[in-house]
Structure 1
Amino acid sequence: MRPDPQTSPRPESSPLPYGRQSVDEADVAAVVECLRADRLTQGPQVERFEAALCEASGAKHAVAVASGTAALHLASLATGVKPGDVGVTSAITFVASANCIAYCGGTPHFADVDPRTGLIDVASLSEAVDRLAASGTPPKALVPVDFAGQPADLPGVRAVAERVGAAVIADGAHSLGAAYRLPDGTLRRAGEGALADATCFSFHPVKPVTTGEGGAVVTNDEGLAEAVRELRTHGIHRDAARLTRPDEGPWYYEQAGLGYHYRVTDLQCALGRSQLRKLDAFLTRRNAVAEQYRTALEGAPFLGRLEPLTVRTETVRHGYHLFVVRLIPRDGETEEAVADRRRGLFEALHRRGVLVQVHYIPVPMQPFYGGDVSAFPGARAYYAGCVSLPIFPGLGDGEVRRVIDVLSECLDEDAAADSAESR
Structure 2
Amino acid sequence: MDRTELHHQVRQVVDTTPVWDLHTHLYPPTFGTPMAGGGRHGADPRGLMLWGIDELLTYHYLVAEVFRVVPSRKLPYDTFWKMTKEDQADHIWQHLFVERSPVSEACRGVLTTLARLGLDPSDKNLAGYRRWFAEQDPDKHIDRVMEVSGVSRITMTNDVFDDNERERWLADGRVGSDPRFAPVLRFDPLVCDWPTAAKKMSAWGYETTEEISPRCIAEVQRFLGDWINRIGALYCAVSLPPTFRYLGPDDRQASSVIFREAILPALEERNLTMALMIGVTRGVNPRLTLAGDALEKADVMSVSRLCADFPNNRFLVTLLSRENQHELAVAARKFDNLMLFGCWWFLNNPSLIEEMTRMRMELLGLSFAPQHSDARVLEQIVYKWAHSREIIAKVLADKYADIAATGWPITEADMRRDVQLLLCDNFARFVAGE
TM-score (norm 2): 0.30
Structure richer in helix, relative to its length: 2
TM-score (norm 1): 0.30
Structure richer in strand, relative to its length: 1
